[in-house]
Structure 1
Amino acid sequence: MNKKSRPKHLIFFLVMVAPLLLFSCKNKGGVHKPNISGSTGEMLIVMNDSVRSSAGGKQLESVMRQSVVALPQAENLFDVSIIPHRAFSERLRSFRNLVIVKLGPEQQTGIKYYKDQWGKQQAMARIFAKDTWELDSLINEDEVKLTGFFVKAERERSQRYYRKYINRNLTEKFQEKWDAFMIVPVNYTENKPGKDFMWMSHETPLVSQGLLVYSFEYTGHESISEAYLLNKRDSVLKINVPGPSQGSYMETENRVPVTYKRFLHNDHQIVEMRGLWRVEGDLMGGPFVSFAHIDPENSRIVVTEGYVYAPEKPEKRNLVWQLESVLYSFKFIEEEQQDTEQE
């Protein structure tokens, strides 16, 4: 790896402080707003009974209750409650994830998105349509943007929390090792260091949440194909992540499909894969989400991955979201420098 010389401890300080300063500045006007109500993943939809029973209302409810991909058991994307407008009291205005549906011939069809409208860190969407048929079409067209807005809001809430309680030693070690920044929460400890590998986890009697990091050479498009990334993943985990039994090791569960998509985040290309993992030689498994961060300037790919093991806890959606909030904080140092300078 061809690394440039940088004042890394200064960069680390700026990485930690700048987002907090920016956050406080942007929210000065919301100091007196109440805290949001509701638990992670809960959503309140305000629409009258006649709308709820229509094609458009059923479509909205179905979209918000759809199953989360790549979990071992079926779980809804959101835990939805629906009330009519007459029941929408002042007490409910600060609900964490809020959708308000208004229909009428005078309405201009569309969706408007709001943050911190009636509560700190609140996410709200107002949906307008002339009738239930327009509502149905609108939800079909904007499903990805609508659901993504609320999933991102949940992720950002977790990320704000983790920034307050960061493991500075492991975050600095991560930066030194990978020439990049990523939040490592304070309750994580390192399990097994390696030359091009890190394994950190948060362990409780019922839940294990792990973070895996490794890198390899980027040689072109073939390096980010689904088959190549999965083969690389299994070869790295076989060597570095042993199971509890002699000769056992973590690997991808290949009896269920793995999702694959590419997108741009924090000024670099990412390949995201989601699926299930298992332990060869033992009865262990759970969900994982993996981000391959492409760094062509240094001819490398850095993979950051989160996994959950919670056999006594069927609901794993929120645990995966927590890991995602950590993974989405990843930035190459050059990108973080540029962001700090612009701010």
Structure 2
Amino acid sequence: MVVVKMSDWTGDIGQEIRNSFGELMVGLPQPETILSVSQVAPDGFSSMMKGSRNILIISEGDKENFSIRKNIYAKPQTVVYVQAKDDAGIIKILQERKEEIRRTFLDADIAFTQNIFEGQVDENVKYKTLDNLGLSLLIPDKFKTVDDTGEFLWLRNHLTSGIAKSGSNNILVYSVPLGDETQVADSIVAVRNMIGKKYIPGSKPETMHMITEEAYTPYTFDAIIDGKKAYETRGKWEVKNDFMAGPFLNYTVIDKKNNRLVIVEGFTYAPSVNKRAFLFELEAIAKSLKIK
């Protein structure tokens, strides 16, 4: 929710906000923005509007100001304030701080979602693979076990609403030995293709299995998971020799203490519908990873 004058919203400031926070998320088959952005004028910023979880307040003033505050009007809530003397000053702050603002809002939503998951975890469910690998994850009880070998865990949530009801959200957890640390990022696709061939068959297992889509190069970013160096990879998966496909989100964590890579991956199969929300849920689960 962006609180800004309508004249600013329709001008250069609004354009900068849409450019900064309306960027498309990588790795999705349909174009979807990283954040959904809406505007309200300051005089229309009512008590109902003040209940929004993420708020960006733009104003003009004598002093330049950028600040982030929590739980001003509601809880949980993140409010970012941007103030400068004129349009150019406001735009300058937005350009310099856009990554920080975006990450602040997304991290707040991750924490909010994880808090919800904490109330949905069935403490009676034990996963052999997590126990063997010394891992813990916040896994909502709607996810059911597809495979749990002790070395490889596959969980699935069948989507039940609307047009997506034939689809599913999936979580994979496994580990591989740590080799040359400088080659980890370059090996992510090869590792997930190896796992797909071994554990994730298609309708004809002898000729079909999950692979990384060959026509689309995944995007890999630096990340931190459980305080450890990691890589976040977003791309598309497909089933070799079949027509199933969708987006995936892979976190490869360098666990030096145990000389291994711990991998938590989420992938979605939901034909014909937007998938940002499904991937976000999988991201929140993956980022709850703790290595014992």
TM-score range, shorter chain: over 0.9
What is the aligned partner in structure 1 of residue 197 from structure 2? Answer: 238
Equivalent in the alignment of 1:163: 118
Q: Give the alignment of 1:47-66 within 5 angstroms.
A: 47-66=4-23
Q: Percent identity?
A: 24
Q: Residues of 2 paired with 1:96 and 1:244: CA distance?
A: 43
Match of residue 210 from structure 2: 250
Gaps of 5+ in 2: 160-164
Q: Which residue of 1 aligns with 2:162?
A: none
- CA RMSD between the two structures: 1.6
Find the counterpart in structure 2 of residue 41 from structure 1.
none
Q: Which residue of 1 aligns with 2:72?
A: 117
Q: 1:181-220: per-residue Cα shift (whole Å, max 9, x none)?
A: 1111111111122352111111133330000111111123
Which residue of structure 1 lines up, in the alignment, with residue 238 of structure 2?
Answer: 278
**SS of 1:192's equivalent?**
strand
User: What is the CA–CA distance in structure 1 between the aligned matches of 2:157 and 2:121, rounded to whole Å?
Assistant: 13
Per-residue deviation, 1:309: 0.6
**Superposed, which structure 2 residues align to 1:77-226 within 5 Å?**
77-104=34-61, 106-110=62-66, 112-170=67-125, 173-204=128-159, 205-226=165-186
Name the counterpart of 2:227.
267
**8 A Cα contact 2:128 2:150, kept in partner:** no
Q: CA separation in 2, counterparts of 1:221 and 1:182?
A: 25
Counting only pairs closer than 5 Å after superposition, residues 68-79 of structure 1 correspond to structure 2 as 68-79=25-36
Give the Cα–Cα distance (whole angstroms) in 1 for the partners of residues 30 and 228 of structure 2. 32
Once residues 133 and 5 of structure 2 are traced to their aligned partners in structure 1, the CA distance between those partners, rounded to angstroms, is: 52
Residue deviations 1:83-137 (CA, integer Å, cap 9, x gap): 2112112221111221111112x13232x11222211212221111111101111
The correspondence for 1:296, drawn from 256, 264, 273, is 256
Distance 1:207 1:156 in 2: 26
SS at structure 1 position matched to 2:94: helix
Contact 1:210 1:307 in 2 (8 A): yes
Q: Which moved more, 1:254-263 or 1:137-146?
A: 254-263
Q: CA deviation at 1:174?
A: 4.5
Once the two structures are TM-superposed, the CA of residue 64 in structure 1 deviates from its matched residue by 1.9
Which residue identity does 1:90 align to in structure 2? S
Of 300, 321, 332, 2:280 maps to: 321
Query: In structure 1, how many angstroms separate the alpha carbons of the residues matched to 2:128 and 2:204?
Result: 30
Count of residue pairs the alignment pairs up: 286
Aligned to 1:160, the other structure's residue is in SS state helix
Q: Conserved in 2, the CA contact under 8 Å of 1:57 and 1:135?
A: no
Higher helix share: 1
Moved more, 154-163 or 172-181: 172-181
- The secondary structure found in structure 1 opposite 2:8 is helix
Shift of 1:297: 1.6
Moved more, 302-311 or 292-301: 292-301
Shift of 1:53: 3.0
Q: Would you say the 8 A contact 1:182–1:330 is kept in 2? A: yes
Q: Report the CA distance shift for 1:239/1:169 in structure 2 as closer, same or farther (over 3 A).
A: farther
